[in-house]
Structure 1
Amino acid sequence: MEAAPRDNNGSLALDPAWEHERLRLEMLAAMTDPATVEILDACAPDHPREIVEIGAGAGTVARHLARRHPGARVWATDIDLRHLDGGGLPNLVPLRHDAAVDPAPVRGVDLIHCRSVLIFLDDPQAVLGRLAGWLAPGGCIVVEELAGFPPYDPTTVVGGALDAVSRVLSRDAGADPQWVRDLMVDPPQPLVRHGLTDCGAQMRVYPFRPGSAASEFSRLTLEQLRPRLLGRGHLTAAQFEAAVSRLRDDDLAEPSSSVLSVWGHRPR
């Protein structure tokens, strides 16, 4: 799930009330969930009791965790719960919650996951420290961020459009690409600085293919941000429509979507 980033005036840069937002979140999940659940299944401690999914969105990862660990309580947290589907799972607990300011949902968390959340916060390093402090001894945190890989080439039709999206989210919503670069160090230094051990990292790249989840997620993100991209002169209408058309219809060699996953454990 992504956070709901706010622009400098406090309005949502990616509005959860947008008519196609649920579909956009489903495309993100379809693209990234297989790798996410593989990492979570490998990193989870034995017999976890308390799990926190931050930025649960539509709830796909939270539902997996609740099914995978029926003896655990899975806290599906988000600042906006309108798209959350708990699947009727008795051990999945929805919670309206802001990880940047609210206390931990429970003491001694065994597993924490967040995807495309920390990059939108004012001080992701400080929030990471808060989350690491929620972990029980032996507990694990998995942090994932979307990243352009390779960096979007602004001279191409789609690369220029996605570079404009990055500029909008950086300038309007405070997304900090340096945070992702910091996480790319081996081992991920933001985790090491908070005393986490057994740290690791993985980058998955998702090529753009017609009808693929990666292409549809990027196309829908462009559509969500259309008023900002056109109204503030980041793209012309012709540039915007050309990028949307290529994402919908073409097999693109580049650019591509990617997700960086990092993890670390609190020492026992």
Structure 2
Amino acid sequence: MDQYGEPLFAPNGSEEERLFLMDEVFDPMSIAALSGLGVGRRARCLEVGSGGGSMARWFCSRASEGEVVTTGLGGPLPEEPRSFDVIHARFEPGQLPVREGVMRRMTEWLRPGGFLLVESFSWIPSHGSPNPLYQYVMRRWSDLVLHDKGRGSGRPGDFPGVRYGLRHPGAESVVRHFQGGGPIAEFWRLTIDLSRERLLGDGHLTEPELEQTYGLLRNPRFWDAAPALTQAWGYR
């Protein structure tokens, strides 16, 4: 089964721009959720899959008298049970297999009273698009990802409070509408393009279908719903 960065999600020359857009688009949602759950100034925080580093910088400003530890999903993970007050992880579609191996370990790293916030993406809003081409391409792409990666996101069984026995579980999905040419549309265009070779090579889409969809995502006259950001949390 492919991991992030292998054939299904192969980073290209636009990866730095894509990660910057991910931080720009999704950090405000993550910060709102973390602020509501409560990050104390003396908290010991772990940022898993730290991306461009913007969330780690926010943690440093919020937990100014605490400690912030960051780790990439492909790097070494902490071996310190019950040592963090706050753990935040944002998983992309290509990281589904990695998520399975990390989730239970993250719950073990929590101190009593600490919380885990896990964010992932659900394609459901885009599957209801009134634009037949955009809906079709998003369905074909998500079918490819879920076939290769083995499971989806945004289901109750995926939520840490349900699956891993944390207390006071909660979850919500944030749906953003986008304008073509804007940062949300460009993030998803670049993310879909990571799978371009497989989408075309395996016959899931034709090149005209993919290019026409990219044209929609660049067109300021095109408005639609992006995949949702699903946020799930629980306390130890």
TM-score range relative to shorter protein: 0.7 to 0.9
1:207 to 160, 177, 188: 177
Quick one: distance in 2 between partners of 1:238 and 1:119? Answer: 24
1:243 to 207, 213, 219: 213
1:150 is paired with a residue of what secondary structure? Answer: helix
| Count of matched residue pairs | 234
1:208 is paired with a residue of what secondary structure? Answer: strand
Q: Which residue of 1 aligns with 2:67?
A: 73
Closer, same or farther: CA 119–226 of 1 in aligned 2, 3 Å: closer
Deviation (angstroms), 1:211: 2.3
Quick one: distance in 1 between partners of 2:97 and 2:20? Answer: 26
Q: TM-score when scaled to structure 2?
A: 0.86
Quick one: distance in 2 between partners of 1:234 and 1:156? Answer: 16
Q: Which residue of 2 aligns with 1:64?
A: 58
Closer, same or farther: CA 63–132 of 1 in aligned 2, 3 Å: same
Percent identity over the alignment? Answer: 29
Q: Which residue of 1 aligns with 2:187?
A: 217
Mapped pair 1:161 → 2:158: no
2:155 is paired with a residue of what secondary structure? Answer: helix
Unaligned runs of 5+ in 1: 81-95
Counterparts of 1:80-91 in structure 2, within 5 Å, are none
Deviation (angstroms), 1:255: 4.1
- The amino acid that maps onto 1:6 is Q
- The amino acid that maps onto 2:6 is S
Quick one: distance in 2 between partners of 1:6 and 1:193? Answer: 23
Quick one: distance in 1 between partners of 2:195 and 2:97? Answer: 21
CA RMSD in angstroms comes to 2.7
Deviation (angstroms), 1:107: 4.9
Q: Structure 1 stretches (4+) deviating beyond 6 angstroms?
A: none
Greater fraction of residues in helix: 2
Mapped pair 1:13 → 2:1: no
Q: Which residue of 1 aligns with 2:45?
A: 51
Quick one: distance in 2 between partners of 1:119 and 1:14? Answer: 6
Is contact 1:45–1:138 with CA below 8 Å preserved after alignment?
A: no
Is contact 2:34–2:117 with CA below 8 Å preserved after alignment?
A: yes
Unaligned runs of 5+ in 2: none
Deviation (angstroms), 1:164: 2.2
Deviation (angstroms), 1:192: 3.5
Q: TM-score when scaled to structure 1?
A: 0.77
Is contact 1:141–1:265 with CA below 8 Å preserved after alignment?
A: yes
Deviation (angstroms), 1:120: 3.2
Deviation (angstroms), 1:64: 0.9
